[in-house]
Structure formats: structure tokens, C-alpha cells
Amino acid sequence: MRKNKYLLIFFFVAMLTSCEKDYLDIVPDNLATIDLAFSNQYNAEKYLATCYSYLPNESGINQNPALNAGDEIWYPEGHRNNNGPTVAQGFQNISNPRFDYWVGRNGGKSLYIGIRNCNIFLENVQNVPGVDQYIKDKWSAEVTFLKAYYHFYLTRMYGPIVINDKAISVSADTEDTRVTRNTLEESFEYIISTMDKAIEGLPETLQFEDEELGRITKPIAAAVKARVLMEYASPLFNGNPVYSSFTNADGEPMFPTSYDASKWQRAADAAKEAIELAEGVGASLFQKEDYLDPLEQNDTTLLKSALRGRVTERWNKEIIWGSTQNTGGLQSQSMPRLYSYTTNPVASNHSPTLRVAEMYYSENGVPIEEDINFDYINRYRTKQANNKDRFYIEPGQSTAVLNFNREARFYADLSFDRGVWFGNGRELDTDPWYIRARRGEFASIFEINNHSPTGYWPKKLVSMKTTVKNGTSLSAYTYSFPIIRLADLYLYYAEALNEVKSAPDNEVYEYIDLVRERAGLDGVVNSWAQHSKDPAKPTTKEGMREIIQRERMIEMAFEGNRYWDLRRWKLLEQHMNKPIKGWSVLVNPLDDYYTVRVLHNPTFNQKDYLWPIKEEELINNPNLQQNPGW
């Protein structure tokens, strides 16, 4: 589990087909070169790279809807026509959908073209001369996984999809290309069985890491299979009554009409298998002792640094699968101005909402609204920091009560006015950066469209080694943006087990407590018993479900998980019909700055749980059905 986890330059080989072509175009534009593509090992590996090249850009804010299409991140007004903010505001449409991964427009790649290329590869790879059989089999397993993953990405967005297991013959009749959508259960079962086939042929580790960086391994495939089964078992797709009337032309239900508890057991089994495979090749949670401390730090600063490193430390052993699409842009948009730059080297506009800041636990490891010792009623008032707060907030300065006495992940993941920012050019925790964000100060508005409209920044996404050169340009230390890490699997396993059992037990607590312990928190049972207004909450299935969901949203914040999780839990409608809020960042006086303002009142309808299929596709193929409500 080292460099094999990441998708590197190898996959930037020029694609042999166009992403802009309709996925039903059955005559590949590279038809004349198919024989050439598989004429030797070199050309076959180029085609293999083409299959990989359709992987979505997980760190791209205009390519990954989970980064900014929900309630986690907000932008200044000038950026709200971008893909994510458009969806978040409720302006998705059928004429030109944002993040269109069905056709391949508006930030989306045509995954059906990617699937077609995978099918072509699988049908021809055994004919490549001069290549050992075990290499052909390994290639086949990799591409089989990619094909399954592309089907899953589509299913997660659109629900029932068109299963495309074979390349359509160029001699096929027009009617043969007018495909219909398979049912949701057919879609998921196909993905699962295809991933199982891939897992059988994949290596646990790479034999030649320097030559094979980024290639799929057995632990990666097993981890993704666990994610697939978690989606399959969750309320959106497991007996959701909203879709009971959605049928195909033959009257067959497109969604399962009843809840199936056994899907949770399958998910639990898959998560446990993935954990064992990952740990078996060296994966573990990234701990304080794993962080390479350049200088001696206070233990509090060391914990915060290690928590940032769980995402931004290169090659760290927690990340099972990551993408190394350039994170420089994401870091620029997530980083505040740390001092008075002469130009504008950072955009500073990828802004966590006030709701997310309130989501993190108190220092006692329970929600702030439940903590018997947290001043929740007065959380929007201000108070002055003293010396004991010095590793979190600038001593002698005032900020919101909300920003005091919070858990370590709050300070590792977020920054705010008068907050401490360590690293990024400051290597002594006695001499950190302090954020000054009120109107007229250096972290406030430099340009009207490049500032935090909420008063928070996602420090978690900025490597501590990223710096600003001479106050004019960002020197980004790029890292592999996580797609799945071990903490993700631990929380999946705890969630699935909780749904399987009649009441939570020590095994459920064990895996969530491992994540909490790494963050410096006590276990769930003790934390609630000692500090919560509802001390028995972890002892019930329903209470533990809420705790696990919140733990996931905290631990996985800003990594593209919250959006999909809220969606599969059927909770997006609760979150996305509430106001998006932040501080009044356009003013300077203390009490005025810490006045809550509403940035937007989004609208979310039942139809928004599934992506619309572009209207033009339905015209071209009358056999396709639009998703309900669109």
C-alpha cells in the first residue's frame, strides 16, 4: 500500500476517442486503428491508459459534484453560475445538465464511451503478441474493475442505468443501439459481480511500483465494492417508496419495492473484507507518530498537523485509493491570505458553511447542542481568547464562542477570523499565522469574487508544505486527493453493523472509536455518558445511527463524501431546504462581523435525488426513460 494507490501521470496519455461523442455512436472513431492498438505491448498499454483516463477528477471543483453541489461549501456571488453552485441552488435542468457523466458535458466525462473502450480492450487484449499470459490477465482484471466502477458512478448518479457489457458491433442495426435502462437491482448486481470478477485477478500489491504507479490493486477494488454495497443497502436505493410507480415499458418496477435488510449484511461483509485486505498490506490510520515533525512542536499542534496530514501527506498509509489530478487549484481556493500580499496569489473562495462549522463536536466529543458544558445558546456571541487558547485562537483577540472549546478536527480542518494557522511557511508553533478576516484586513476581500463569504476556510485541503512565494504566487505542494481511505472503511463497517444488529454492541463501537481515538477523543459510550444531555443515545440503534452519520460527516468533511452520504441516507431534502448561512464578512466591527447572515435559501425537491438524463438523449433514443420528476 504505497504509491500503487495513486493515479499519476501515466494516465494522462491522450485519449483515443472523443469525450464529446454520443455514447450510442457505434462506429468508434479509432476503428481503423484497433488492430494497431493491440499489435504489441507498447500500444496495448496506451489503450489501457485510455481506459483509465475516464476516471472522474475527484479534486476538480467543476468535475466532482460532491465538492460543492450540496450544503458543505459556498462561494461568492460571482462563482454561483459554476456547475456545483448551480446544482446547489436548485437550478439543475434537462436541456443541458451540469456534471453530465451520461453524455459527457459540463464537467462530466462520457462514462459510456469509457465503458465502450473498456469493452474493446477486454475483447482484444488476449490477442496481443509477445506478452506473458499473467500480464494479460492482470490487465484484464484492471479494466474489468474500471468498467464496473464507471457503471457504479453512473448508477450512483442516475439510479437504473443501461448495462453495457459488450462493445456494440459496427454492423448492428439502428434498433439495436436504442437501448433501454436496466432495473436498479440489475444495475447493482451487475456492478458487484463484475467487481468480484476483477478482484479475483488483481494483485494485492504492485510488483514494479516505479513502472505501474496508479494501477488498480485488490485492496482498492475491495474498498470500492464495499462503497457500492453501502449505496445499495441505504434508504435511497433500498425499498424507497418514492420510486414505487417508476416502471419500464413492460410495467416492471425500476426500483425494488420493498426493503431488504440482508443488503446491510452484504455491505458489512464487504467492508470487513476490504479492511482486512488493506490492513494486510500495511494500511493503518495516519497517527501523530506517523507525522514527520520538522521541528519540535507542542502536542496539540502535533495532533492538528497529523490530522491535516491524513489527507495531504503524500503516500500516507491511510489512503487506499487516491487521485493525483493537480490539487493546486483546490488549495488556492481553500487557502486564506495569510498576510498582506502585494497581489492575489490565492482565491480563498471555497468556503465551508456555518452549518458545517457547527457540525463538529465540542472538545468533549459530543455535538455542541448536546454538550451539557458548551455555551450553545450564546454560540454567536464573542469572547476573548486567553493563553490556554493559544494553539487554537490568537491570545487577546476575540472571536465567536462557536470557535472555542472544540475538538481537534475542528481546528485541523477549519480556519476562521483570529484563528491559528500553522505551517505554510511557519514552522514554530510559538510563531504561527493568525487569520485576520474582517473588512479591510488582509484575509478579507481582496477581490469581490475571491474571498470567503462565510468566514471559514477548509484548512484540511491545504498541504502544510504549500507556500506563497514573495507574496505573489502560490507554490502548491500537490498531494493525492483521497477517494477512499481506511477511516472511510471503518465507518462504513460500523454503520453496516449497526443496521444489521438489533442494538449496537462493542464491535460497532470499536470501529468508530478507532477513528475518534486518532482525533484525540474518548469512545462514544463514555463521551455521551459523561457529557451529553442524552447519555443513553449510543445504546440504541436509532441513536447510534445518528452518531455514526455525524461522525462520517466530520471525519470525511470536504473530501466529497458528505454529498453522497446525505443523498443515500435520504437526508439531502432536510439539509438543502434550509438557509445557507455565514458570518457578515463584509463589515469590520467585531459584533457586526459576528452577526449571522443568510447567503441563500436553496430549494431541493424529490426529483433532485437522481440526475436528469439530457433531453436530447431521450429524443435520439425513445426507449430511454427520464428519471421521475424531470
Instruction: Tell me, yes or no, whether 276 lies in a domain.
Output: yes
Mean pLDDT of the residues in the chain: 92
Q: Is 451 strand, coil or helix?
A: coil
Lowest mean pLDDT among 94-98, 256-260, 366-370, 426-430: 426-430
Vertex 36: Cα angle to 30 and 40 (nearest 5) = 135
Please state, in angstroms and rounded to a whole number, the distance separating the CA atoms of residues 358 and 379.
9
**77 or 22: which leads in pLDDT:** 77
Please state, in angstroms and rounded to a whole number, the distance separating the CA atoms of residues 348 and 343.
13
CATH number, domain containing residue 254: 1.25.40.390
Amino acid, single-letter form, for residue 134:
Y
Q: What is the CA radius of gyration of the chain?
A: 25
Q: Are the C-beta atoms of residues 379 and 401 closer than 8 Å to each other? A: yes
Q: Which three cell numbers stand for residue 576?
A: 438543502
Q: Which three cell numbers stand for residue 558?
A: 470536504
pLDDT-derived band at 22 (thresholds 50, 70, 90) equals very low
Q: Provide, for the chain, the percentages of residues in helix, strand and coil under a 3-state DSSP scheme, each rounded to the nearest 5.
A: 45, 10, 45
Q: Is 475 strand, coil or helix?
A: strand
Instruction: Tell me, yes or no, whether 3 lies in a domain.
Output: no
Q: What does DSSP assign to residue 182?
A: P
Lowest mean pLDDT among 100-109, 172-181, 391-400: 172-181
Instruction: Tell me, yes or no, whether 557 lies in a domain.
Output: no
Instruction: Give the mean pLDDT of 6-16.
Output: 34
The pLDDT value given to residue 176: 56
C-alpha distances out from residue 541 to 158, 433, 451, 562, Å: 30, 44, 42, 21
**450 or 29: which leads in pLDDT:** 450
Q: What does DSSP assign to residue 401?
A: G
Beta strands in 423-469, from DSSP E residues, in sequence order = 433-434, 456-457, 467-469
The pLDDT value given to residue 294: 67
- For 266-284, the pLDDT digits (tens) are 999 999 999 999 999 999 9
pLDDT-derived band at 168 (thresholds 50, 70, 90) equals confident
pLDDT-derived band at 16 (thresholds 50, 70, 90) equals very low
Please state, in angstroms and rounded to a whole number, the distance separating the CA atoms of residues 319 and 306.
14
Please state, in angstroms and rounded to a whole number, the distance separating the CA atoms of residues 236 and 244.
12
Domain count, the chain: 1
Q: Are the C-beta atoms of residues 10 and 49 closer than 8 Å to each other? A: yes
Q: How far apart are the first and last CA of the chain?
A: 43
Q: Which element (helix H / strand E) includes 600? A: strand 596-600
- For 532-581, the pLDDT digits (tens) are 999 999 999 999 999 999 999 999 999 999 999 999 999 999 999 999 99
- For 311-357, the pLDDT digits (tens) are 999 879 999 999 878 999 999 999 999 998 888 899 999 999 999 99
- For 451-475, the pLDDT digits (tens) are 999 999 999 999 999 999 888 899 9
Q: Are the C-beta atoms of residues 30 and 16 closer than 8 Å to each other? A: yes
- For 169-183, the pLDDT digits (tens) are 655 555 556 789 999
Q: Which domain holds residue 130?
A: 14-280+612-620
Which residues lie closer than 8 Å to 487 by C-beta, 6 or more apart?
A: 285, 310, 318, 515, 518, 555, 556
Q: What does DSSP assign to residue 241?
A: G
Please name every residue paired with 602 in a beta bridge, in sequence order, or none if there are none.
none
- For 226-239, the pLDDT digits (tens) are 999 999 999 999 99
Q: Are the C-beta atoms of residues 155 and 188 closer than 8 Å to each other? A: yes
The pLDDT value given to residue 470: 83
Q: Which element (helix H / strand E) includes 599? A: strand 596-600
